Amino acid sequence: MSVGSEIRKTPFHQMHVDAGAKMVPFAGYEMPVSYPLGIKKEHTHTRERAGLFDVSHMGQIRLSGEQVMAALESLVPVDIIDLPKMKTRYALFTNENGGVLDDLMVTNLGDNSLFLVVNAACKYADFKHLQDHLGSSCELELDDDLALLALQGPKAAKVLSGLAPAVNEMTFMTAKQVMINDISCFITRSGYTGEDGFEISVSSQDAENLADILLSSDEVDWIGLGARDSLRLEAGLSLYGHELDTSHSPVESSLNWALSKVRRLGGEREGNYLGDKIILNQLQHGSDTKVVGLLPEGRMPVRDGAIIQDENGNQIGYVTSGGFGPTLNKPISIARLETKYTNSQSKLFALVREKKIAVEIIKLPFVKHNYYRG
């Protein structure tokens, strides 16, 4: 899977075709957007049982070196140095202006090694970013010979622990190397749906065999990108290129919770990453915009790009992600608004096809997270 203009395929491509998937180009890959079950039923299946997602288009990067923890910490506003072995943490690459280059998951493998999972559309730029800043101090490998599956939903742990009992010892944001029917799997208890679940990194040559084993359970079905997006939207989780971009900081995107205390003002390792002065200033004094949840009135979805106005017709923001929430059975949206309006009593409206739809600000997530914390 080399860098180039051609559309690439994941190791599960033929399985998707055989399962009747509707395939679409996505982040340089041909990916399944839905299966014959349909997006709404795929969504509900994941909330109630266990959905299997092909996320092999994501970037899997290994960093190693004696100073690898401190090195990566110089590029993210989170605590990497104190990340325990086989624990996973959410992080963000920032630029000199405090904007977000990408969001990622970081796992400490021990032995001076870190495992990163980055977004598909950003993976080659992320790798170059790491090379440019850390190449002299760390060994870096972007492994395109790995597949990645996400098993998500309330039945995920039952299915996986039946194959690898050690999974029962895992809690949210921990990692473990296990064998499943003689297949070596690196597993984190994490995901992008708001449900309990796992991400499983496996060699491409073992990928189809592992998927077959998981799909042999009556609880498990393939789930496509369509339901993946509606699930993450209900869970209020940011999507790069929507809630996150190079023009807005983590504070402007309401990700203060992800910025570690030790890296904040007065912390023992305050700042010392790209854009730190801007981000630390916003943490202290606030930012001009925030990301919030919106509940539109009625049944019409308010989608990405819709303008948000106050009662006087002034533009005060725009929708970053929007659609229909099958669990709630109503439209839901996430929007970037001027901060002063996020706590005001002003009536707000979304413009959809030149019609004004009343919207109500609500606290994210729309659907409660069900992560397993032990």
In a domain, 280, yes or no: no
Q: Mark which of 217, 234, 251 sits at the end of a domain.
A: 234
Question: Could you please report the per-residue DSSP string of 102-140?
Answer: EEEEEEEEETTEEEEEE-GGGHHHHHHHHHHHHTTTSEE
CB atoms within 10 A of CB 284: 11
Closest CA to 64 of 123, 117, 109: 109
| pTM of the predicted model over 0.75 | yes
Domain boundary among 234, 250, 280: 234
Query: Considering the domain boundaries, does residue 19 fall inside one?
Result: yes
Choose among 319, 287, 280: nearest CA to 302: 319
Q: Return the pLDDT at 5.
A: 64
45 three-state secondary structure: helix
Share of the chain above pLDDT 70, in %: 99
Residues 45 and 151 in one domain: yes
* 71 within domain boundaries: no
> What is the extent of the structural domain holding 164?
8-55+145-234
CATH number at residue 21: 3.30.1360.120
Q: CATH code at 353?
A: 2.40.30.110
206, part of any domain: yes
Q: Is 361 helix (H, G, I), strand (E, B) or coil?
A: strand
Q: Is position 371 within any domain?
A: yes
What pLDDT does residue 4 have? 52
Mean local confidence (pLDDT), 137-155: 97
Among residues 211, 234, 257, the one where a domain terminates is 234
Q: Could you tell me if 309 and 191 lie in one domain?
A: no
Q: How many CA atoms lie less than 13 Å away from 356 in the CB half-sphere?
A: 11
pLDDT band at 1 (very low <50, low <70, confident <90, very high): very low
Q: Are residues 155 and 224 in the same domain?
A: yes
Total domains in the chain come to 2
Q: Tell me if 167 is assigned to some domain.
A: yes
Q: Could you give the CA distance from residue 334 to residue 289 in angstroms, rounded to a whole number?
A: 13
DSSP-derived pairing of the beta strands 139-142 and 146-152: unpaired
Q: 345 falls in which pLDDT band (50, 70, 90)?
A: confident
Same domain, 229 and 311: no
For the stretch 292-332, pLDDT in tens is: 999 999 999 999 999 999 999 999 999 999 999 999 999 99
pLDDT recorded at residue 346: 86
**Does a structural domain hold residue 18?**
yes
Same domain, residue pair 159 and 51 = yes
Distance CA 3, CA 164 (A): 35
